[in-house]
Structure 1
C-alpha cells in the first residue's frame, strides 16, 4: 500500500505528550502535554479536525494524572497521590490564555481508582475505586460538576473495561481471584456475572458492540493466543491461524464497527507496523505509516480509525487512517534520527542515532531502562534537546533488549551487567575509534536499569568515557531485591537479576565498585520513587564522597522533591532535563 500523508499534530519542537485516552463515543481524545519548559497540562483533540486545545490547570500535572475526555470536550482528570486520589472535572475557559475551570468531584482515600469512558447518554464515565478491603465501588460520572453516583459495590478487585453493547449497560471487566477472569457488570442493577461462553481463563480485549464481535486472549503454552467470538453465542472461540502467526510483539488496537477488521500494532526491532487484519478471511495488509512507533491506544468508529503515532522528529499525535491514507502534515518538528548497526561483543547490535557520532564535538550513549525494554523509533524530548545542542546521541539496543528475538532478550538472564555490559564496552571502543584524534570521549546517560549499566561501564573501563549522567540507579540486584517492591522482586526472580557474575570485574555491586568511579558524575533521583528507593542513590553518593573526597566538584547529586521513577515525564516542569542537558554539554 502507498498512502498519501496528512495529520492534526502540532509541530512545535519542544512538545511532550503522554497518557492518551479517547471519549466514550470517540469524538474527543485527551492527553497530558508540555510545551518547552512549562508544566504538564491536559490537552484535548477534536477528531472532527479542530486543532488541539490546551486546558491550563492551576498547578500543572504529573505523570500520574490520567485524563479521560468526555464527549462534550471536557476532561475528567484523576490525580493520583500517596494518600488520596482526587477526581476533578476540567472545563475549557472562554479564552485559551485563561486558566481552565476545575470542579473537584470526589476524593478516594487509599486503594486504586480507574476511570472508564462511558458509552451511554448520562454516563460520561465510570470510576471504579478498589479499597484496601479488596471491594470495588462503581461510581457513575455525568460529565458535569455533579458529584458521582454510586451504582454498585463489587466483591473483588477488577481491571480493564470493555463495553459490550451500544446502550452502555454491559461492561466486561477482568476480575482478580478464583473463577472466570472475565465478568460482566450490568450498570442498570449493579450485578456482576460471568461472561457466557469463553473459557475461565479467557480475557476480553476489544469489542465491536453493534456487531456483537469480541476479540479475546488466552494463555496457552507460555504464549497468548488471540481469539474471535460472538458476544451472544456460547460456542467455542475461534483462534485464526494467521492472526496468531505474526513475527514480533503484537498489540491489538481496535475493531471496526462491523467487527470484521482488526487494527494491530506489530513491533519489530525499533519500529511499529500497522496491520489491518480481515478476521473473516484471516488475512492482513500493512498500512505504510512513516517509520515510527504506534502507541497502544486507538479508536475505530464511524469516522474511521484514529491512533497515536510518533517519529523521532515528531511528538506523539493523532493520526487519521482513512482507507489506506494517512493524515500527517508535511515538514519536520525536530531533529531526524536513523538506525545504525554497531559491533557488539558477540555480534552486531542496532542503535537509534541522532547527528554524526564521528564528527560531533560530543557524543552521548543513552541506555534504556527495563531491562526488558528497548529504544523505539519515537520522539524523545531529551534526545531532541541534546541534538539541538550539538551533541550526537547513540541509543543502543544491546543484548537484553526486546524486539530482537528470544536469544537476544534472554542473554542477560542470570547475568545482569554481563553480556549487555560487554556489548556496551564494544560500542564504546567502536565510537572512540571512529572519532578524530583529540576529540572528547563518549559520554553516558542512563535511567533506572540503564543508570546501573552506565555506572558499571564507568567502573569497568573508565578510560572509554568522559562523564556520565544517571537517573534513578540501583546499587545491585541483591540490594534491589531486598529493598524494592514486590513487582520488582518478581522481575528479579524471573530474570535472575540477583545472581552474581564471576569474572575480572566481580560482583556487580556499585558500592563495592565506587572506588573505580572517577569520571565526572551527575546522579538524579526522585525522593518518592516507588520502583527504586531513593536510599540507593543516597548511599551511593555518600560512598563516592568518601572515595573521592568531599571537595570533588565533579560529583553532583540532585534529589527531586516529590519526583517518582520517570523524571523525564513525571515531574511538573522540565528542570530535570535542564540539569541533565547542561551537565552533558559541559
Structure 2
C-alpha cells in the first residue's frame, strides 16, 4: 500500500514542532572563494526551503540567490577571477545534466560548453585560460579540455571510471584519476600537458599508481605561480595519509604525522603550510602543518565534526562545524561566526555515547543515543549508506527525531566504513552486505546484553546502502527486527546492476569480484530479494522515481515479491532522485518513517 504521512500516528504538537524545526532551520555551507578575488564567495543554502546556490560579495555584504529550481541545485564553483559561477543542471534530481554558467553579478544562464553533452559529472576544473570537464555515461568516461578561443576536444576516453582532479595555477598541467587497472576504488594518477594533449596522442608528463588495494587521490596543486607540487592522499600504511609530489622534478615527500586516524589537507594560500583535517573515532581535529619546520600545530575547535575547512589569504581558517547536540555553524577557527542566514536557530539535539564492541572482524565502533528513562528501549538502528562513509558526532536532525519520538538510536560503523583504516574499509570485498550485517548483529547483541535494546522492539533502517542493508537484514536476520524502513535501497541487485549508472556498475564489479555474468552467485547471495521469503517484519520502502543509483525498477521487483507473498509492507514514492533537496519533502519522508515506526514498534 502507498503510505500517506498525514494518516500516521500523531506525536504531540510540541514534539512534532521540535523535530520538524531542526529540518526547517536554514543552513549554509562553507563558502568557496575565488583565488584572485577572495571577497567573491559562493555557498549553498536551504533558506528558501530548497537547497540552492548563493553568491556573496564580502566587500558589500550583498547576497544573491544564483539558482532556483524545483528540485534544487547541489554543485557549483567559481572561476579563479570570481567573474563566473559554474553550476550543474540535472533533471528532477537524476544527476544527469550539463554545466551552466552565470555572471557573478547576476544575469542569464548559459550552457557552459555546448559540445560537451549531458552526462553524469566526473570532475570540473575551471582555470584562467581553459576548462577541464569530466563526464560519465553508459559508454564510460570522457574528459574534455575547452581552451578559451579554441574548439573543445576530448583528451581521454575509457570504459572504466576516470575524473578530472586538479589543474595548475597556470593551466599548463592537468591531473586526472583513472581506473584502467580495473578497480575504481583504488585510482591511479596521470599528469597531462594541456597545450598539446589529445585523445590519440596524450602528452603524459608523469604517472603514479601504488598498486592493487592502494588508492591515490589528487587533492590540489600548490597555490604559487609555476607551482608543480601536487598534494596527494595515499594509503601505503593502511590509512589515509599525505604526500607532496613534485611532478616536474619527479620527486615525492611523504608527510608522516603522529596521528592515529585518517588525514586530508589543503594548502595555505602562501604555499608555506598545509591545513590538515584529522578524522578519528567519529570526530575531527584541525592542524596547521608548517612545511619548512615540520611543526604540527593544533587549531582549537570544540569536539565534534568539521564538514569542510579553508585557509583564507589573511591566514585565518574558516570551517563548518557541528556536534551531535549543537547545530551546524560556519565560523572561524578562533571563534567568530562567518556566515549565517535569517531564521530561527534549530533546537539542540542529544549527545552520543561511544561503544566499542567485539565483532568477527575486530572491534566495531558504534554510537548510541538514549531517550530519558530506564531501559531497555525500543531502538532504531540507523545504518549509514556508502558503504564508504561513517556515522559521527555531528548534528543529525533525523537521529534527533527518532529520539524525540521515544526511541533509542544506534549507529554502527560496520566493516566497509571509512575512518578506521583501509583493511576495515575493504573487508566486505567479495561478500558485501552479509559482512556489514555481522557487525550490526554484534552491536545489537551487545546492547541487548547491556540492557539498552529491547530485543522485541528493534527497528532496522537506513538509506541507500543503509537501505540495502535494511532489506538484506530483514531477510537474513528476521529474528532480530520488529520492523524495517528502507529508504532509496538496493533491493534486487541483479536488476539494480542493469539499470544503475555505469560508474556504480564498475564499483560493483570491483566489490563483488566481477559482473553478474561472471559471478552471478555472489550477487544473488548478497541480494535482498533472495531472502524475501524469510522476511517476518513489516517493511516501509521509500523510493525516488528518478534515482540513478538505486533505480526504481529493482525496488518495484522487491515490492512485487512482498505483494505476492502477502508480506505486510508500505511504500512512499517521491518525484526526485537519490533523496531530496526540498526540505518539506524530506520532512514528509521522515514523517512517513516515524509514523510507520510508531504503528509497529511502540516506544
TM-score relative to the length of structure 2:
0.72
- Closer, same or farther in 2 for the Cα pair 1:160/1:314, shift >3 Å? farther
Aligned to 2:261: 248
Aligned to 2:45: 33
Q: Does 1:352 align with 2:370?
A: no
Q: Does 1:174 align with 2:186?
A: no
- Closer, same or farther in 2 for the Cα pair 1:43/1:525, shift >3 Å? same
8 Å CA contact 1:24–1:118 kept in 2: the answer is: no
8 Å CA contact 1:32–1:41 kept in 2: the answer is: yes
* 1:446-476 deviations in Å (ceiling 9; x for gaps): 1122222222322334343232110122235
Aligned equivalent of 1:207, options 222, 227, 236:
222
Q: Does 1:216 align with 2:216?
A: no
Aligned equivalent of 2:118, options 81, 90, 110:
110
Q: How far did 1:338 drift?
A: 1.9
Q: How far did 1:31 drift?
A: 3.0
- Closer, same or farther in 2 for the Cα pair 1:104/1:515, shift >3 Å? same
Aligned to 2:593: 580
Equivalent position SS for 1:250: strand
- Closer, same or farther in 2 for the Cα pair 1:58/1:404, shift >3 Å? closer
Q: How far did 1:236 drift?
A: 4.0
Q: How far did 1:335 drift?
A: 0.6
| Cα distance in structure 2, aligned partners of 1:264 and 1:453 | 33
Unmatched tracts of structure 2, length 5 or more: 1-21, 157-162, 181-187, 210-215
Aligned to 1:159: 164
Aligned to 1:89: 102
8 Å CA contact 1:184–1:194 kept in 2: the answer is: yes
Q: How does 1:119-138 map to 2 (within 5 A)?
A: 126=131, 128=133, 134=142, 136-138=144-146
Aligned to 1:6: none
Q: Does 1:457 align with 2:473?
A: yes
- Closer, same or farther in 2 for the Cα pair 1:172/1:310, shift >3 Å? farther
Aligned equivalent of 1:541, options 559, 565, 571:
559
Q: How far did 1:182 drift?
A: 2.0
Equivalent position SS for 1:532: coil
Aligned equivalent of 1:309, options 321, 324, 327:
321
| Cα distance in structure 1, aligned partners of 2:301 and 2:260 | 18
Q: How far did 1:432 drift?
A: 4.3
Aligned to 1:556: 570
Q: How does 1:264-303 map to 2 (within 5 A)?
A: 264-295=276-307, 298-303=310-315
Aligned to 2:430: 414
Aligned to 2:548: 530
8 Å CA contact 2:25–2:346 kept in 1: the answer is: no
Q: How does 1:373-388 map to 2 (within 5 A)?
A: 373-388=389-404
8 Å CA contact 2:376–2:453 kept in 1: the answer is: no
- Closer, same or farther in 2 for the Cα pair 1:53/1:490, shift >3 Å? same
- Closer, same or farther in 2 for the Cα pair 1:294/1:154, shift >3 Å? farther
- Closer, same or farther in 2 for the Cα pair 1:263/1:15, shift >3 Å? same
Q: How far did 1:428 drift?
A: 2.8
8 Å CA contact 2:262–2:419 kept in 1: the answer is: yes
Q: How far did 1:547 drift?
A: 1.0
Q: How far did 1:151 drift?
A: 4.6
- Higher normalized contact order (CA 8 Å, seq sep 6+, divided by chain length): 2
Equivalent position SS for 1:540: helix
8 Å CA contact 1:425–1:457 kept in 2: the answer is: no
Q: Does 1:475 align with 2:491?
A: yes
Aligned to 1:98: none
| Cα distance in structure 2, aligned partners of 1:436 and 1:248 | 29
| Cα distance in structure 1, aligned partners of 2:307 and 2:452 | 39
8 Å CA contact 1:204–1:214 kept in 2: the answer is: no
8 Å CA contact 1:335–1:388 kept in 2: the answer is: no
Paired residues in the alignment total 529
Q: Does 1:493 align with 2:509?
A: yes
Aligned to 1:96: none
- Closer, same or farther in 2 for the Cα pair 1:296/1:173, shift >3 Å? farther
| Cα distance in structure 1, aligned partners of 2:241 and 2:229 | 14
Q: How does 1:4-153 map to 2 (within 5 A)?
A: 14-17=25-28, 21-25=32-36, 26-35=38-47, 38-44=49-55, 53=63, 55=65, 57-62=67-72, 64-66=74-76, 68=78, 75-81=85-91, 84-85=97-98, 87-89=100-102, 103-106=108-111, 108=114, 109-111=117-119, 116=125, 126=131, 128=133, 134=142, 136-138=144-146, 150-151=149-150, 153=152
Unmatched tracts of structure 1, length 5 or more: 1-10, 93-100, 141-149
Equivalent position SS for 1:181: strand
8 Å CA contact 1:400–1:409 kept in 2: the answer is: yes
8 Å CA contact 2:383–2:461 kept in 1: the answer is: yes
- Closer, same or farther in 2 for the Cα pair 1:537/1:129, shift >3 Å? closer
- Closer, same or farther in 2 for the Cα pair 1:14/1:298, shift >3 Å? same
